[in-house]
């Protein structure tokens, strides 16, 4: 409960002043003349209960003060006026090197798991998925049905496309999906653990194309430094072309990230999420209900009880 005019509470200072006045007035009016009256008359129950009238008067005054302060209750409701979602394409490298086990259980599964968590947090965005190795494939076009997208993400695996790493082709496929988008913000999240060694489209050419369509690209290099364990007891050396990935991001106005462990990759997704916020405009409605009537009614009731008792039970005999 809120009060529109809380300064009226200063009037509560009157309560102790009235109590002091009542005490000294009664003390002054006590007669020193002794009468030979029955004890039941002079010290009867009515005489003991007579201060109730004064208490009822104080309660009436207190409730009037509260009513003057204008008590109000406020109910707040909100309605979404505008949702400005972002169109996001995720380009996932599915070359055989993504099976390296420097991430648990391997690079690809860790990347999928964290990408799914990212998708779940982007409730108002259209998101799509492209996979690539030596060639590229659109796993899921832009959609707001994130359940379908997550199911498609879970099915991603290596070995379904010709092996290799065609970064330019994967990037170009994402651009093709975003170029007709009417969204104010369009981004690509490209994840790879290698160097561009396949494809007919150069990554820099693809980056220039993305810039032409105002598509920002965030690139992520995945893999530990040095060598990483590989199924079958082998090991592979990380060979991420960080200069190329940095140039692709810089060309499009994005950022390059290096993730050498799973926790670092999770942090990268969180940082991208902070950089690319969805604009939601919300309007709030305030329903204010005045409550002063209740206190006015209570003050009136206590005042009427005082008057009724004064002229009946505690009626003065002249």
pLDDT tens string 169-191: 999 999 999 999 988 899 999 99
| Residue 36 maps to a domain | no
| Residue 35 maps to a domain | no
pLDDT value, residue 13 = 87
Do both 171 and 299 map to the same domain? no
Closest by CA position to 241, among listed 166, 176, 169:
166
| Residue 316 maps to a domain | no
| Residue 262 maps to a domain | yes
Do both 208 and 167 map to the same domain? yes
| Residue 153 maps to a domain | yes
Do both 95 and 190 map to the same domain? yes
Do both 64 and 201 map to the same domain? no
Q: What does pTM read for this prediction?
A: 0.64
Do both 230 and 298 map to the same domain? no
pLDDT tens per residue across span 27-51:
665 544 444 445 444 445 666 677 7
Do both 67 and 90 map to the same domain? no
Cα–Cα distance measured from residue 296 to residue 61, given in angstroms and rounded to the nearest whole number: 10
Task: Report the CATH number that the domain containing residue 212 is assigned in CATH.
Answer: 3.40.50.410
pLDDT average, residue stretch 65-89: 78
| Residue 222 maps to a domain | yes
| Residue 170 maps to a domain | yes
pLDDT value, residue 43 = 45
Do both 93 and 191 map to the same domain? yes
Three-class HEC string of the chain: CEECCHHHHHHHHHHHHHHHHHHHHHHHHCCCCCCCCCHHHHCCHHHHHCCHHHHHHHHHHHHHHHHHCCEEEEEEEEEEEEEECCEEEEEEECCHHHHCCCCCCCHHHHHHHHHHHHHHHCCCCEEEEEEECCCEEEEEEEECCHHHHHHHHHCCCCCCCCCCCCHHHHHHHHHHHHCCCCCCCEEEEEEECCCCCCCCCCHHHHHHHHHHCCEEEEEEEECCCCEEEECCCEEEECCCCHHHHHHHHHHHCCCEEEECCHHHHHHHHHHHHHHCCCEEEEEEEEEEEECHHHHHHHHHHHHHHHHHHHHCCCCCCC
| Residue 81 maps to a domain | no
Do both 64 and 188 map to the same domain? no
Cα–Cα distance measured from residue 103 to residue 240, given in angstroms and rounded to the nearest whole number: 15
Per the structure, the complete domain to which residue 116 belongs is given by 86-277
Do both 10 and 99 map to the same domain? no
pLDDT value, residue 26 = 67
Report the share of the chain in percent with pLDDT over 90. 54
User: In terms of residues, how long is the chain?
Assistant: 318
pLDDT average, residue stretch 272-299: 78
Model confidence at 25, in pLDDT bands (50, 70, 90)?
Answer: confident
Do both 185 and 301 map to the same domain? no
Greatest mean pLDDT range, 20-29, 75-84, 162-171 = 162-171
pLDDT tens per residue across span 182-230:
888 999 999 999 899 999 999 999 999 999 999 999 999 999 998 999 9
Contact 82, 124 (CB under 8 A): no
Do both 121 and 244 map to the same domain? yes
Do both 12 and 96 map to the same domain? no
pLDDT value, residue 46 = 65
The total domain count for the chain is 2
pLDDT value, residue 4 = 86
């Amino acid at each position: 409960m809120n009060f529109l005019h809380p300064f009226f509470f200063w009037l509560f200072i009157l309560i102790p002043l009235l109590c002091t006045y009542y005490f000294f007035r009664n003390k002054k009016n006590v007669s020193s003349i002794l009468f030979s009256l029955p004890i039941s008359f002079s010290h009867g129950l009515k005489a003991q209960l007579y201060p109730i009238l004064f208490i009822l008067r104080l309660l009436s005054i207190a409730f009037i003060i509260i009513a003057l302060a204008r008590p109000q209750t406020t109910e707040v409701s909100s309605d979404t006026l505008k949702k400005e979602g972002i169109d996001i394409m995720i380009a996932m490298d599915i070359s055989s090197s993504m099976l390296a086990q420097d991430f648990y259980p391997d690079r690809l599964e860790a990347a999928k798991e964290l990408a799914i968590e990212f998708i779940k947090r982007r409730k108002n965005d259209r998101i799509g998925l492209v996979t690539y190795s030596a060639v590229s494939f659109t796993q899921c076009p832009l959609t707001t049905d994130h359940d379908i997208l997550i199911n498609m993400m879970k099915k991603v695996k290596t070995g379904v496309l010709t092996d290799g790493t065609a970064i330019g082709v994967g990037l170009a496929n994402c651009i093709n999906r975003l170029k007709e988008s009417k969204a104010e913000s369009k981004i690509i999240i490209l994840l790879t653990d290698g160097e561009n060694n396949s494809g007919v489209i150069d990554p820099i050419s693809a980056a220039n194309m993305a810039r032409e369509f105002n598509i920002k690209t965030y690139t992520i290099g995945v893999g530990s430094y040095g060598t990483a364990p590989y199924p079958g007891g082998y090991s592979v050396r990380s060979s991420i072309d960080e200069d190329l990935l940095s140039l692709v991001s810089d060309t499009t106005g994005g950022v390059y990230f290096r993730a050498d462990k799973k926790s670092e990759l999770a942090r990268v997704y969180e940082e991208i999420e902070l950089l690319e916020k969805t604009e939601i405009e919300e309007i709030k409605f305030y329903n204010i209900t005045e409550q002063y009537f209740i206190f006015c009614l209570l003050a009136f009731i206590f005042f009427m009880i005082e008057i009724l008792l004064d002229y009946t039970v505690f009626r003065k005999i002249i």
